[in-house]
């Protein structure tokens, strides 16, 4: 019960931080609903199921909030906030297929309900429709940013897949994968609004840097939560990364501290994706008593501080304060 209360509280805090654009977010939801209704029935059913699975809509909210901060008064922010969410949803669908996941946000994954063949095609449709929505307005510069982010995300997944089931993942490779898979879409979401009007083009890079650092902070916290949050809070099994053969920063930091025997048992766990060689409780105990979670949080805080430095170079006002609050909230979240 406590975990569920915490989840609700944090969702409420996120809504409050982005309270100034809640009206615009409702327009984004309506835009997404229309897209699902106009798609092939099966596409709309599958994609609508994933879109309706309780995501926080952080990336679309960033598009809207930054657009308002920059004084944009048109309608492109709604379209591109929706585009960002379509791309994000496509990545979730494809990730769940690759990871053979059964649960996301406490619900059965799309691939579990409809099978891999259908869901991979729906993910492809979402990517393609996102780019089509850019072309409808002839926004080549926007499309360039989004295709670059999508390319980076795909390359990140390829790199991650090559080391799946292995423990020889070093810090540098992990950070490269994290930047590509997560941070680049945050960077795209934050930099797009600067492209909506000539007077704000000079802010494109600083907004991209803000989003990139925010995304790195977000993912580092996420990887630590995989070991510290409950199943109810996560909406998926605890230590899902290890169950899927993925070694993230907490384990990368832990491995050099272990005896040869424990390291060998962790290697079996990762390669076999099974807790037969070592128990879940033993892994959690090692993680929680080793100090690696504190190191992860310190690094996440470093990226949060970099994001704040970028934000402080943006136009002052309530929107900038909201960006700073969002950064602090994402750093300290528990779900």
If pLDDT is split at 50, 70 and 90, which confidence band does 53 have? confident
- What is the reported pLDDT for 7? 58
pLDDT(326) > 60: yes
If pLDDT is split at 50, 70 and 90, which confidence band does 2 have? very low
Per-residue pLDDT tens digits for 78-129: 999 999 999 999 999 999 999 888 888 778 899 999 999 999 999 999 999 9
* Residue where the block lists tokens 């090559």: 162
- What is the reported pLDDT for 92? 93
If pLDDT is split at 50, 70 and 90, which confidence band does 50 have? very high
- What is the reported pLDDT for 234? 66
Per-residue pLDDT tens digits for 189-245: 999 999 999 999 999 999 999 999 999 999 999 999 999 877 667 667 789 899 999
Question: Right CATH number for 2-332 from 1.10.600.10, 3.90.1150.10, 3.90.950.10, 1.10.1740.10?
Answer: 1.10.600.10
Q: Mean pLDDT over all residues of the chain?
A: 93
- What is the reported pLDDT for 178? 98
Q: What is the mean pLDDT of residues 49-76?
A: 94
Per-residue pLDDT tens digits for 103-115: 887 788 999 999 9
Of the chain, the percentage scoring pLDDT greater than 70 comes to: 95
- What is the reported pLDDT for 1? 46
Q: What is the mean pLDDT of residues 43-64?
A: 92
């Amino acid at each position: 019960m406590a975990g569920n209360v915490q989840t609700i509280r944090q969702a409420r805090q996120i809504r409050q931080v982005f309270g100034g654009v809640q009206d615009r977010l409702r327009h984004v939801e309506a835009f997404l609903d229309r897209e699902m209704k106009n798609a092939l029935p099966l596409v709309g059913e599958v994609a609508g199921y994933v879109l309706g699975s309780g995501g926080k809509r952080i990336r679309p909210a960033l598009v809207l909030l930054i657009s308002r901060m920059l004084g944009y008064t048109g309608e492109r922010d709604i379209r591109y906030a929706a585009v960002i969410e379509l791309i994000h949803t496509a990545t979730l669908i494809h990730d769940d297929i690759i990871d053979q996941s059964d649960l996301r946000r406490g619900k059965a994954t799309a691939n579990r309900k409809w099978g891999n063949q259908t869901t991979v095609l729906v993910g492809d449709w979402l990517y393609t429709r996102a780019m089509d929505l850019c072309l409808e307005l002839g926004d080549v510069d926007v499309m360039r940013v989004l295709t670059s982010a999508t390319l980076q995300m795909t390359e990140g997944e390829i790199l991650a897949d090559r080391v799946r089931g292995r423990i020889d993942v070093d810090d540098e490779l992990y950070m490269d994968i994290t930047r590509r898979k997560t941070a680049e879409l945050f960077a795209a979401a934050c930099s797009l609004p600067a492209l909506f009007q000539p007077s704000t083009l000079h802010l494109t890079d600083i907004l991209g840097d803000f989003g990139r650092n925010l995304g790195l902070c977000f993912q580092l916290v996420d990887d630590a939560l995989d070991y510290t949050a409950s199943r109810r809070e996560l909406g998926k099994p605890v230590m899902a990364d290890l169950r899927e053969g993925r070694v993230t920063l907490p384990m990368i930091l832990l491995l050099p501290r272990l005896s040869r025997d424990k390291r060998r048992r962790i290697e079996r766990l990762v390669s076999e994706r099974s807790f037969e060689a070592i128990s879940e409780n033993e892994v959690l105990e090692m993680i929680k008593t080793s100090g690696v979670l504190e190191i992860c949080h310190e690094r996440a805080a470093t990226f949060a501080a970099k994001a704040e430095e970028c934000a402080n170079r943006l136009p002052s006002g309530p929107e900038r304060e909201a960006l700073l609050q969002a950064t602090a909230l994402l750093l300290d979240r528990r779900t």
